[in-house]
Amino acid sequence: EAGVTQSPTHLIKTRGQQATLRCSPISGHTSVYWYQQALGLGLQFLLWYDEGEERNRGNFPPRFSGRQFPNYSSELNVNALELEDSALYLCASSLGFRVFFGQGTRLTVV
Amino acid sequence: AQSVTQPDIHITVSEGASLELRCNYSYGATPYLFWYVQSPGQGLQLLLKYFSGDTLVQGIKGFEAEFKRSQSSFNLRKPSVHWSDAAEYFCAVGTTSGTYKYIFGTGTRLKVLA
């Protein structure tokens, strides 16, 4: 069974551009979580989608947004990129009470 | 609506001091309750969980949490904080009806002063 998959693995953007990150949860999982892990910092909760709706949101500005599709895959969009948005973005889905993480997308803003 | 609230985004304590991280939930049935810790560079680690029984739950690393149904709370405590406890702490509710799901709080960042 495939795990949580994220694409792309690496993404380089310039300041002011938009970035789109994608996540496919494990088959059968309806919840998708997005986290940001910046260098030297812990995991910071970004967004939680369940059954196609945004259920919870972390302390991030509105230029961080996303959506969940009918097949439960998800996109994270970051508009007007800033240098400090450079980080590893992790997607996770859950089954029962175990959380499964993807390998992440490394976003570099130059 | 089902929700988990961690009202403190950041908490700073001195090493050796006691710690309490707050968690309140809204859920119609009796929930399963969890605390996770996320340290820099590491994945989520389960600290403790409550399913039923004794409302005071002991976890790893000297942490404990108390389930208070009347207050819809599941606060995490530690009597003496160590510098290595600096991390992000997530409270979560596990739904007990239908498909199991997690409802995560938004996390509390703990800073420990030497």
Q: Tell me what percent of the residues of chain A surpass a pLDDT of 70.
A: 91
pLDDT tens string A94-109 = 765 567 778 889 999 9
Give the model's confidence band at B101: pLDDT under 50 very low, under 70 low, under 90 confident, else very high: low
Whether A88 contacts chain B with CB within 8 A: no
| Contact (CB, 8 A) for B9 and A44 | no
Q: Which residue of A has its CA nearest to B98?
A: A96
User: Does the beta-carbon distance from A42 to B43 stay under 8 Å?
Assistant: no
User: Does the beta-carbon distance from B104 to A45 stay under 8 Å?
Assistant: yes
Position B98 pLDDT exceeds 70: no
Collect all residues of chain A within an 8 Å Cβ-Cβ radius of residue B87.
Answer: 42
Coil, strand or helix: which one is A43? strand
- Supply the pLDDT for residue A98: 63
Position B75 pLDDT exceeds 70: yes
pLDDT tens string A24-49 = 999 988 888 898 877 655 567 888 88
- B35, β-bridge pairs: B48, B91
pLDDT tens string A61-93 = 999 999 999 999 999 999 999 999 999 898 988
Record the tokens describing residue A73, joined without a space: 């895959």
Burial B37-74 (b: 16+ CB within 10 A, else e): bbeeeeebeebbbbeeeeeebebeeebbbbbeeeeebb
| Chain B from 52 to 91: CB within 8 A of any A CB | 87-88, 90
Alpha-carbon Rg of chain A, whole angstroms?
A: 13
Give the model's confidence band at A50: pLDDT under 50 very low, under 70 low, under 90 confident, else very high: confident
Whether A45 contacts chain B with CB within 8 A: yes
